[in-house]
Amino acid sequence: MPPSPDFAPGTVWLVGAGPGDPELLTQRAVRLIEAADIVFHDALVGPGVRALIPPGVERVSVGKRSGRHSKDQRTINDLLCEAALAGRRVVRLKGGDPSIFGRSAEEIEHLVGHGIEVRVCPGVTAASAAAASVGASLTLRGIARSLTFVTAHARAGEAIELDWLSLARNETTLAVYMGRAAAGTVAHGLIRAGRDPDTPVLVVVNASLADERAIRGRLSALPFLVRTISDDEPTLLLIGEALHSVPAPPIQRTAAHTNVSSCAAR
């Protein structure tokens, strides 16, 4: 492949791999992956996306799943720096969008501090993919005027610190990333801060993939909704009045009067 004018040797690109479906990659992302000499990829980068890495290109897994880290962030920073200083074209492939809970700022700061050119290729974030799959709008005129992305992930032994009063506003749609383990804390914090217990909730697992599923319910039932989801399944919580607009799929009633639907990827 001819060299890319924006991908000189010694350059690092932080590339958004999207939520997992390779068809949701940008054209630039595909081009950069094909031009790379080495690809460092997260655990959330699915096999369909990894299959785009050409034969002969070195692959390095630096994934983090459910507290099990193959590499800590300092080591990842050093590996990226080492590869770039060796004159290699480096792709750092991140699930979703690098700028949303992707620790891109830490890697950029480290690389720039060593005189390395680093650029960012955006990707489709999980909240957008999840909403698209079920036909939801994350904002709704006159009802949901704002959209807030939060992460429910905390370091081991630390409590989740969120501005519950701000998040409890009825006109805000919440997209809670990495929210499975903290579903009970999220529900309790929001309701205690004044959010209506009957606020619609959508739990989306493996957004955009063939085994995607969506579980519909209400905020007060959120801890129940996530019980069947395993630790290794990427889970996004969507919370807000805008979800009333989701087209009604075939539903199954559960003991908690929660609507459960399976949404196959396109």
Quickly list DSSP for the chain: -PPPTT--TT-EEEEE-BTS-GGGS-HHHHHHHHH-SEEEE-TTS-HHHHTTSPTTSEEEE--EETTEESS-HHHHHHHHHHHHHTT--EEEEESB-TTSSS-HHHHHHHHHHTT--EEEE----HHHHHHHHHT--S-BTTTB-EEEEEE----TT------HHHHT-TTEEEEEET-STTHHHHHHHHHHTT--TT-EEEEEESTTSTT-EEEEEEGGGHHHHTTT--TTS-EEEEESGGGGGSPP---EE-TT--EEE-----
Q: Choose the catalytic residue: 6, 21, 37, 42.
A: 42
Catalytic residue check, 42: yes
Of these residues, 6, 37, 64, 196, which one is catalytic?
64
Residue 232 annotated among the catalytic residues of the structure: no
As annotated, the active-site residues are 42, 64
